Structure 1
């Protein structure tokens, strides 16, 4: 409950934007009947399944809403529930707008409230996925002035705002088009490429910025040498900065990989506490507010045009930081820049729609590597959760392997789609289960299916059992070196032989778009003539970079520091 209260405080400043027009008077006139005093339960079906809550009524009004049971994704639900509850309480009705970024969870809550209220004697009618609050006529609103505006409330945007505040910038506005913060970072298990951490030192791992920069380049990083070194030096300082906010990444594995603990994802720890820090610093966070356009004057960035539920307005600022993410959720842009990837699902959060790509092009801002897409080999079908890794095979409904599992990218994604019904399954045994916290977590949540035998597993999954058993036998022989065929796996390592056995339906997904606006080692954005655009910075997935999560925070910090210097020198 403490986390709910904390995140509610962060969002409280923006609630008036999202509930305008959803008045209790308007909605009570639509409802029929009068609610009896008491506590009533209702259920709804959300992203994770059944959700149950109770509604307390008094004097024909909703007095409180309390969750009883839910199976939603925690980083989403912990942020979304305070918002949807506030909207319903304000409107005294479940006929309100859903929380963007939490559509299914919002639907479940609204439907459950409606059911509970009907039991109490007040009927709000049918609640559907399209149910929303009264429309608000959009207007042109008054201009707002600030020192710094940050567009995007993900890891890069939040770290930029925090760093700028810590470097003396008093007036900062962060705009986020979704109703919840922290982008894709809040889902991440691993915090990659972190060096000089307390956990590394505790493990006796010796590392350096020079070694990290060299390794990144050897692994194919295309960033300039200056950006790579800026990332590496920033990585060496990052653990201490995070710990000053109470963010402890105590589990170091695989060299530079970090989780909060061996059984706790890094993303939730980092993003929850960065949001808390933003709130503590009094930074003006405006969720449900979409960036539309850059405001440029004499070649300088002087603000952004934004849109809230009430209308559009200009935010004039001394400096602008772009942290809007990539375009993984924009099929049109994927088809334009990386044909074929648009047919895949995405594991990225719904806000990654590349809203400013056309703005960058119109303003002759340099873009790079727009055709470079990070495709994650396997996600759980019908969900966005990443899975995979280790001793596993992929089979189709006929129980047959259809590709060498060491393949990846669009080749693997296309091969899965070409199977009967577009279905493929990830098969593994107890050995891999024991070695992977992610698989353990997904099984505990009921995402995967298990059985004592392969035959039983096949029956549960609708796979040809005889072929599955034969496929596993042939695979194990290949691992032992007894056979050599087109599916010989060098990376498998272990046979699939120790029950229980596990399976989940999988597909490949666009995980990140790696191309974007070109920025230098100071996070300054460059134009098509390779010149710095004064007052304009970029951090995170919006930027052209081979890096990922930890680098978003590193360059968020760099952009905040550099913007603070620029503002102080004006």
Structure 2
């Protein structure tokens, strides 16, 4: 059996176990877990992919145990919008024709789509046929989903490396979109009669509705769920993964043996800011000091454990950041009350760095020192925020990210900015507003000069939100090594894996793929010999 330990985990166990007074004693205890249990399949992680894996395995006749680090199940799926990509023929038939949305596909060239080209060729044929027909309703197809997925997911890191998008993984999952939807329906998920976006439907109760459906399926299949138990190590015997070592909520080590297979569904590493900072290549200003707005339990445990056994990692440098009040002063959704109301934006040096009216501003903030930006405005900004939420400024004024002043100098000093540089920046900005054009960054759309106190400066931060890299799997959900071989007994699904999002979050497609491969991983593990 291969065993791996680090100093932190050893220290935790040392404190937790009475009478532990020497390194020799600690090692002896670590080699003999205080409890052992077994099942056909052990699923590590109880989020969307983990619940789907557990239900899929149990429905295939396996006994299943989920171990989840947090005190609840559902994970990121529960806090998401729950949007699922699906080809809903009934809703499409009732909608208006969408000819104008389709002409662009006829201009796309197959040579620009690499291995995705076959789907584009089929889509062009479908679009041509639809446009030439008098067919009622809105056009959509699996091939359109696939092509849109590829286009949205394209991207490069700061070094010019292109993100990976695994055509076969994405294609298989999206081709089975309706199968996944009907499975979730059997767990109680309902959808509204509205589209969230081009391909995605709206579940009733959003992510909670999706998570509850998965929980219902797992409970119906009699899956055992153990909370507040964090996996720390995979057990490998004779080249095969046969279980995991975990720490329970008391800090004691427990061994979970898998008769058939282990499924890693531990989620992303977006809650581990040090790991994000180590790998990220999306912004020159981001550091480990930037916050995360995802679950603290998303530490990348599955990635780290599998990497010890030689698992290949892919696209670890690609991730998504979102704007929020400095170090949690306001949430992601609350930050939307501020964005768009500002008149200009500056960095820690009190200087502008881009066109504040463009949707690309967040990406520019990634390149600012410490991923920080200061949203600036006068009484007009304050009035706009109050119109959106009359209680917001009053409730958040003492949270450490809102700074007020009767003068520009007072506001700058309150925010810790160089007041002389700040005043010069605002003066130049006001001149651009008067001229109707910003010569420095090309901005032409303004919402007034900053010249009527009181003044507001909101200190905003790019926080780690989603990570797109992780383990490499094949279509049978085996975890692969760098040489292309797979690690016997080890399967993975969900955000711990890579290749299905690209360089951008694929809302709708993402959850469909997560649930599809979660279920498949459980089934594959259950059927292993």
| Offset, 1:432 | 9.0
1:109 corresponds to: none
Q: Does the alignment pair 1:337 with 2:230?
A: no
> Which residue of 1 is the match for residue 38 of structure 2?
145
Answering whether residue 53 of structure 2 is matched by residue 160 of structure 1, we say yes
1:171 aligns with 2:63: yes
Which position in structure 2 is the counterpart of 1:352?
A: 298
Q: Secondary structure at the match of 2:366?
A: helix
Please give the alpha-carbon distance, in whole angstroms, between the structure 1 residues aligned to 2:209 and 2:428. Answer: 41
Tell me how far apart the structure 1 counterparts of residues 256 and 448 of structure 2 sit (CA, whole Å): 58
Q: 1:507 to 1:366 in 2, by over 3 A?
A: same
Aligned residue in 1 for 2:233: 293
Aligned to 2:140, the other structure's residue is in SS state: coil
Q: Distance in 1 between matches of 2:485 and 2:77?
A: 31
Counterpart residue number, 1:404: 355
- Higher RCO, 1 or 2 (CA under 8 Å, sep at least 6)? 2
Quote the residue 1:544 is aligned against: 498
- Aligned residue in 2 for 1:307: 247
Range moving further from structure 2, 173-182 or 235-244: 235-244
Instruction: Work out which of the residue numbers 189, 195, 199 in structure 2 matches 1:256.
Output: 199
Deviates more, 1:459-468 or 1:505-514: 459-468
Q: C-alpha offsets along residues 124-183 of structure 1, whole Å, 9 cap, x if unaligned? A: xxxxxxxxxx96658722321111111011121112222333x32341111111212222
Whether the 8 Å contact between 1:399 and 1:471 is mirrored in structure 2 is no
Aligned counterparts of 1:172 and 1:239: Cα–Cα separation in 2: 23
Distance verdict in 2 for CA 1:555–1:183, change over 3 Å = closer
* RMSD (Å) for aligned C-alpha atoms: 4.4
| 1:213 CA displacement | 1.2
**Cα distance in structure 2, aligned partners of 1:136 and 1:442:** 49
Ranges in structure 1 where 5+ consecutive residues have no aligned partner? 1-133
Is 2:166 the partner of 1:224?
yes
Take 1:343 and 1:280, find their aligned partners in 2: how far apart are those partners? 43
1:196 Cα deviation from its structure 2 partner: 3.0
141, 145, 149: which is aligned to 1:212?
Answer: 145
Contact preservation (8 Å) 2:477, 2:520: no
Tell me the equivalent position of 2:9: none
Q: Deviations over 1:351-404 (max 9, x none)?
A: 11122333322211111111222222x123332732447676553599975433
Offset at residue 415 of structure 1 (A): 2.4
| 2:219 corresponding residue in structure 1 | 279
Deviates more, 1:152-161 or 1:241-250: 241-250
State whether structure 2 residue 460 is matched by structure 1 residue 513. Answer: no
Q: 1:434 to 1:184 in 2, by over 3 A?
A: farther
Pairwise CA distance, 1:543: 0.7
Structure 2 CA distance for partners of 1:234 and 1:343, relative to 1, 3 Å: farther
In structure 2, relative to structure 1, the CA distance for the partners of 1:473 and 1:332 (3 Å cut) is closer
Question: Normalization by structure 1: what TM-score?
Answer: 0.61
Q: Deviations over 1:428-459 (max 9, x none)?
A: 97999899xxx77995995699xxxx999999
- Partner of 1:242: helix, strand, or coil? helix
**5+ long unaligned stretches in structure 2:** 1-14, 19-28, 97-137, 155-162, 399-403, 450-454
On the 8 A contact 2:386/2:392 being kept in 1, the answer is: no
TM-score (norm 2): 0.65
Q: Decide whether aligned partners of structure 1 residues 545 and 502 sit closer, same or farther in structure 2, where only a CA change above 3 A counts.
A: farther
The equivalent of 2:514 in structure 1 is 555
Residue 284 of structure 1: how far off its partner (Å): 0.6
